[in-house]
Amino acid sequence: MKNSLNDEKKSDKSEIVQINSPMTLLMYQSAIDIVVDRLKAINIELTNKSGHHVIRGITSRIKSPESITKKLIRKGKKIDYETAVESLNDIAGVRAVSYFFDDIYQISKAVKKQKDFTLIKEKDYVQKPKKSGYKSIHLIVKVPVVLDSQTTYVKVEIQIRTFAMDYWAELDSQMCYKKSAGDIEMVRQESKRYAEAIAALDNKMLEFRKKIELLEKNKVLCETDKVKK
């Protein structure tokens, strides 16, 4: 029985390892590069328009065969390359981190306006956070990748969240999933309270920015009136 289980695991890994083939990695990396370049352009546009820096940072990754296999098992899916590409939306992932709460919707809106991107799915975990307190906007888009004169539409998950949300999510992923955490439910409840506190801080910082912008606007108006007089 033990040998058969080991053989099954080896078979599963061999079925999914094609994700790591040079051409497949090139395809997903090309899709990521397209999204990252587009987000950089969006950042310049929104920063010039708003007068403040919008995107603090952009990161990306391609899921490992091990992570893909685990997710397929959780979903009860067949473990092979074709099923992974068809059923998983986050093999290629890009994260954009903004400074302020209202910017995440501006970034999301700009991404959805890209004419060569096809929006597959949108999940707003900001308006409807997960039970853990997790907040972010997830966009699943298909982007055109041209290799060997052939165009393939590749799915990329784009996560958009604030610096504060990102800080909480990173710490939460480290603390809540450690086997030595003990009372997991207690950790989750405590983590959710911190998520709510961080959300409140996000809103306060947005209000603070708007106050400063209003002061700057009034100052400009006063100086303009002085010049006219």
| Residue (of 197, 170, 44) closest to 106 by Cα position | 44
CA angle 129–132–134, rounded 5-degree value: 45
SS3 207: helix
What gap in Å lies between CA 102 and CA 49, rounded to an integer?
A: 14
157 catalytic residue (yes or no): yes
Q: Which two tokens stand for residue 151?
A: 């165009």
Catalytic residue among 15, 66, 122, 157: 157
CA separation, residue 161 to residues 14, 23, 113, 209 (Å): 36, 31, 18, 17
Dihedral angle, C-alpha 15, 118, 25, 77, nearest 10 °: -20
SS3 121: strand
Answer yes or no: are the C-beta atoms of 176 and 188 closer than 8 Å. yes
Amino acid identity for residue 161 in this structure: R
CA separation, residue 85 to residues 70, 78, 82 (Å): 14, 12, 5
CA separation, residue 51 to residues 40, 48, 61, 94, 113 (Å): 16, 5, 30, 25, 21
Report the catalytic residues.
Answer: 157
